[in-house]
Chain A
Amino acid sequence: DAKTTQPPSMDCAEGRAANLPCNHSTISGNEYVYWYRQIHSQGPQYIIHGLKNNETNEMASLIITEDRKSSTLILPHATLRDTAVYYCIVISGGSNYKLTFGKGTLLTVNP
């Protein structure tokens, strides 16, 4: 699976959009981009995933560049409860469903 690179930490003001970048320059054609987050003392939570098109759900939007080498997770109106470590993970389809967690980005939403 492709390696990902994320900034170690980011800050965001409450109510503003949080834009979390992820670089995955070695991604291959059948690999998906997944985002999870882990709020302190909880298990990770699935947020969103995409292959090549932009995606949106009730939690967030995922913007994938045309060359698929990077993506951005957008939380449109961050709240204090969105403070968490956000993980960008690339996995392939088929039978390999293993998640390899990097260090992720600690997003701190400030009042």
Chain B
Amino acid sequence: SAVISQKPSRDICQRGTSLTIQCQVDSQVTMMFWYRQQPGQSLTLIATANQGSEATYESGFVIDKFPISRPNLTFSTLTVSNMSPEDSSIYLCSDIDLAGDSYEQYFGPGTRLTVT
């Protein structure tokens, strides 16, 4: 299974600013995803990070607010732009192992964001 690391692990930010979260995988993977977990809630998929092309966003999420980059097969970034207190969440990246017929996803430890 891939090992995924995220930076930063946590941050406290002022409203109106932006934060870029990095996700590093220790092996080349086909697909990477970004999720958000609001306080007390389950995980919600933000987007699929596509290598070399624009990310594919889920309903309710837009590129202007959550720009995503994926310059290669092992690295992706998620930016939370023009933050408000409602953006306070845990942000998690994941990748998928497409070996065989299984679609196991592996998750990073998450980035805990607090917006004041």
Contact = CB atoms under 8 A, between A and B. Distances in A.
Interface in B1-49: 1, 4, 31, 33, 42-45, 48
Interface of chain A, main secondary structure: loop
Interface residues of A, number: 22
A100 B43 CA distance: 8
A99 B92 contact: no
A25 B101 CA distance: 23
Contact of B42 (A32, A34, A101): A101
B102 interface: yes
Interface of B: 1, 4, 31, 33, 42-45, 48, 92, 94, 96, 98, 101-110
Q: Which 10 A-B pairs have the closest CB atoms?
A: A43-B107, A101-B42, A101-B43, A46-B104, A44-B107, A97-B103, A43-B92, A97-B96, A43-B110, A43-B109
Interface of A: 32, 34, 36, 38, 41-46, 49, 87, 91, 93, 97-104
